[in-house]
Every structure is written in C-alpha cells, then in structure tokens.
A and B are shown apart, each in its own frame.
Chain A
C-alpha cells in the first residue's frame, strides 16, 4: 500500500497552517489510526480528542477533506490511495489547538432547555405507556453528542452572531424527544420560537447529512417541531378556535 499523505491543521488561536505528513498504512485503518500513528512517530505534540474509537463517544469530530465526520468511523479506503487527505478541526467552535475545538457552547445551550415535567400519572401512582408511545423517541435517544450537526449548521457556522439566539440541531433533537414524550407536560413552543431560534433553521438538512447516528434530524425532529410551533403560534384558525372554546 502506498503511504498516506495527510495534511493536518497545526496551530492555535494565534494562527497556524496545514502541515503534511507521510505515513505507511495498513489494511482496515481509519483516519484516527493514521492520526495516532503520526502522533506516535512524527508529531508527539499533536492535539487530538478521542475516546472510544467505536463511534459512540462523539469525541473525535473533525473535517476530513472538508466534510464533517467522526475520524474513528472514516475508513482510509474511502479515499484514493496516495491522494492528500486534509484533516481540519471542526470550524464552528473556537479552536483550542490543532484538531481540538472548544465545544462548551453546547453545554451552555443544554442548561437552558426546559426540563422533563411529568404529568400527574394514574390513580395507582403509575404511568402506563404503550410501545407506540415511545417508539418515535428512540431515534432521538441515539444521539452521541458529537456536535457534527451543530458544527455543519450554517446558521452559526457562517453567521456566528446568531449563536446567542440559536440552540442548533442537536438540541432540536433533544427538544423533540421531550415534546413528543407521552408523560411530559411542559410547554416549549415559545422557548422554541424565541430562545431556541427554530425559525433560523431553513431546513436545508446538512445536520441530517452529517449525523453519524443517521438520525433524521430535519424530517423527524425539526419539521415536526416547526409544525407544532405553527399550531401554537401562527395558525389563525387554531388561534380563533382556542379563543372561542377557551381550550388550550
């Protein structure tokens, strides 16, 4: 096998550049393996975040040839042998060093989400749920918080001024799971509209395209939430009906 030619971003907030490394590869390697090999043999101070090497911890997000991916799930045989492969840190969040970005924005957003609030339950103190009531939420619970969707979303990637007003696709997934939960009774439509900035999303589906868990973020979380906000806020007939009948 020919050597892999890797162009890795080296640098921090003060500046940096792509630097080229040549590494012998073996059958079955993923991008993260190659990065580790460079770290072990040529660049001991290379910063890279990873943990599970199994696509489940969501730590190793990066941009490989410009596409947001998990490095541990990107096989080297995806690329033409011998062609340079560019690996850059995720662009939307502040760079710490080399391939590592500071994703704490996401933890701040998480704190603002109105928590699960269960209803009163049944007289015997339990709450019965049927399988069909929770099926829809299973997809949302697959999220590994890799933040690739947050990183690719142009609302904040290309317009960082929107960050204070936009929760981002990962949190729309979380909000959809809460909103569709059969026990939950909290109202989140106004939060979605005014604080989470659901209206900023123009449903162009890049989050769905990059999600390593194949969550259909746009179709199954964002659009259903947009429809719920329409019912709560924009639908003139629902609004009139509620006024007339006094129903919520």
Chain B
C-alpha cells in the first residue's frame, strides 16, 4: 500500500498517551538511581535496632571490600526486573515497544521474549522463591524494630519498617508466578479445594499487583531514607512508647 497518513504516521491518537510512559521513566528512574547510590554507600544503613531493607540480611565476609548490599540486592532486583508488571512498565516506557497502545514501536525488528537475553524472563518463579526467603529476614528485622534495649517499644521507625514489610509481602504474594503455583496450574479445582481457595485469595490481590508493586517500591526506598537520615544524625526518631 502506498504511504499515506494511514500508514506513515506513528499514531492517530490525539490524547496524552505519552504521559504514562513519561511518569514511569521518572518514577522507576528515580528509584534505580537512589537505590544504586544507597547500595554503594556501605554506611548509615542501621540505627540502633533498625536495619535498612537494602542491607538485609547483612553479609559482611572479610574478603569483600565493597558495600554488603551488593552481595544480596541481586535477589530483590532480579525479582522486580523479571516481574510481569515491571516488564510491561519498562518495555513500554524505556524500550518504547510499544510506548502506548496503537502507537508505533520505536524499533524496526522485534522478537519479544523468544531470544536471548529476554528468554531468561522465564525464570521469574525462581526469583519469587528467592524473594520469599528475603521476606523471612525482613519480617525478622521488622519485629526486631520493636525491641529497644531488650524491651518492647514503638518508634516511628518500627512502624515504618512494619508497613514496609507488609507492603513487600503483598507485592510478593500477589505475583503471577505465585498465583500459578498456588492453583493456577490446575485444570480441575474441585479436586483440590484448598489450593482453589488459595488461588482465589491470591487472585484478588493479583488484580492489584501493579498497586502493590508501586507502593512497596516507594516504601522500601523511604524506609532506607528514614534509617539513613537517623544514622547520619539529620533527624531524630519519634518514640510512641
């Protein structure tokens, strides 16, 4: 067909389709920049009984000269990088493949997730297992945040850490791979009533997976910011009791 307005324009859309990819680039970009900076610091990640989620669990082998965060962050980073929601977000916003619906792809060739390296996205469920192991440490840290000098207490930091680990748990357990493993892989739910119940519960949260992805992204960064500022002496913790 000869070139015309129909075939030659990237899109006939007149609405602000570029706004969503722009916001995602800004949001995810800011998070990646801050996390990289915070992970490379190797300092100010703990304050009394509070520990930054970027440094949990803290591995400090003597032969490792760099920040301890680098030894562990591949786990949560891999989980988010291969997450079905984040894939959608960065394929659209950073790759422009496509930038928005009915807007032309930025690149001419396309093989999707069929070739190397994107075929590796298929290991997402393994990162789900890893992320679940991390959650155990983070829950331990959150509970420990309520223990001040051997006694129960509540500070602003304790609340922040608890909210953060709750949001991270919602993010992990609303995962599509989790939904599949809980019961999505079955064809006959009636033969496995427990797994069916579990699948239904996970499904209700899976519908909000994007929301949990963003809330937990923000909370994990803010938790680090808060503990960092405490440790640097810039702000002071509030003790409720």
- Interface residues, chain A, CB within 8 Å of chain B? 9, 11, 13-18, 63, 65-68, 86, 88-89, 91, 95, 129-130, 132-133, 136, 152, 154-155, 157-159, 162, 179-182, 184, 197, 199-206, 209-210, 218-219, 223-224, 226-231, 234-235
Contact B6 A88 (CB under 8 A): yes
- Contact A206/B101 with A15-B2, A200-B112 known, Cβ cut-off 8 Å: yes
Given A66-B13, A227-B180, check contact A199 B187 (CB 8 Å).
Answer: no
Tell me the number of A-to-B contacts counted with CB atoms below 8 Å.
141
Check A18–B5 contact: CB distance below 8 A. Answer: yes
Tell me if B240 is interfacial: C-beta within 8 Å of chain A: no
A227 engages B102 (CB within 8 Å):
no
Inter-chain pairs besides A67-B15, A157-B102, A158-B105, 7 sampled, C-beta below 8 Å = A18-B6, A68-B102, A88-B6, A159-B105, A200-B111, A203-B84, A227-B180
What B residues does A155 contact at CB under 8 A? 110, 112
Interface-facing stretch out of B25-33, B152-160, B188-196: B188-196
Q: Which 10 A-B pairs have the closest CB atoms?
A: A66-B12, A66-B13, A130-B190, A206-B101, A227-B180, A200-B112, A199-B114, A234-B122, A158-B105, A154-B98
Residues of B61-113 whose CB lies within 8 A of A = 84, 87-88, 91-92, 97-98, 101-102, 104-105, 108-113
Is A132's CB under 8 angstroms from B6's CB? no
Query: Are B114 and A203 in contact, with the CB atoms below 8 A?
Result: no
A and B contact pairs by CB, cutoff 8 A, 22 listed:
A15-B2, A17-B5, A63-B102, A66-B11, A66-B13, A67-B101, A86-B12, A132-B190, A152-B102, A158-B98, A159-B109, A159-B110, A179-B187, A184-B187, A200-B112, A202-B97, A203-B87, A204-B91, A204-B97, A224-B179, A229-B122, A230-B124
